[in-house]
């Protein structure tokens, strides 16, 4: 266990630590959403995306979509599992 903790600390040290990705950190967005009691991401779609005739057409929505998310009924959803939130982020963000 000591070796694992040492490796983690060493790796963070040489890599520059945790980078703040802001609104591109999907699990941070999902954690904020869960804290608000919602399942969709805590990010509002661009008005231009909502104004498209067919917002699901990839050729039309390319400039407005968020990569690796699903757009449904005017909201973005993350199709990855929620386990990392409860394992890594939940201890710090969901409790406090």
In this prediction, residue 50 has a pLDDT band, given cuts at 50, 70 and 90, of: very high
Contact (CB, 8 A) for 61 and 52: yes
Tell whether pTM > 0.75: no
What's the pLDDT score for residue 30?
83
More confident residue, 19 or 56: 56
Taking the C-alpha atoms of residue 37 and residue 57, their distance in angstroms, rounded to an integer, is 29
Give the distance, in angstroms, between the CA of residue 1 and the centroid of all CA atoms in the same chain: 29
Tokens (6 digits) for 27: 């699990």
Which residue is associated with the tokens 């040290």? 13
Taking the C-alpha atoms of residue 58 and residue 55, their distance in angstroms, rounded to an integer, is 8
Which residue is associated with the tokens 């490796």? 7
Contact (CB, 8 A) for 78 and 26: yes
What's the pLDDT score for residue 95?
53
Percent of the chain with pLDDT over 90: 19
Q: If you average pLDDT over residues 30-52, what whole number do you get?
A: 88
């Amino acid at each position: 266990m000591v070796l694992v903790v040492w490796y983690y600390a060493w790796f963070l040290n040489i890599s520059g630590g945790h980078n703040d990705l802001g609104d591109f950190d999907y699990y941070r967005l999902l954690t904020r959403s869960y804290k608000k009691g919602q399942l969709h991401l805590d990010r509002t779609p661009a008005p231009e995306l909502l104004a498209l005739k067919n917002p699901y057409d990839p050729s039309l929505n390319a400039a407005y979509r968020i990569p690796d998310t699903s757009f449904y009924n005017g909201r973005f959803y993350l199709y990855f599992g929620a386990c990392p939130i409860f394992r890594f982020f939940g201890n710090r963000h969901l409790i406090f």
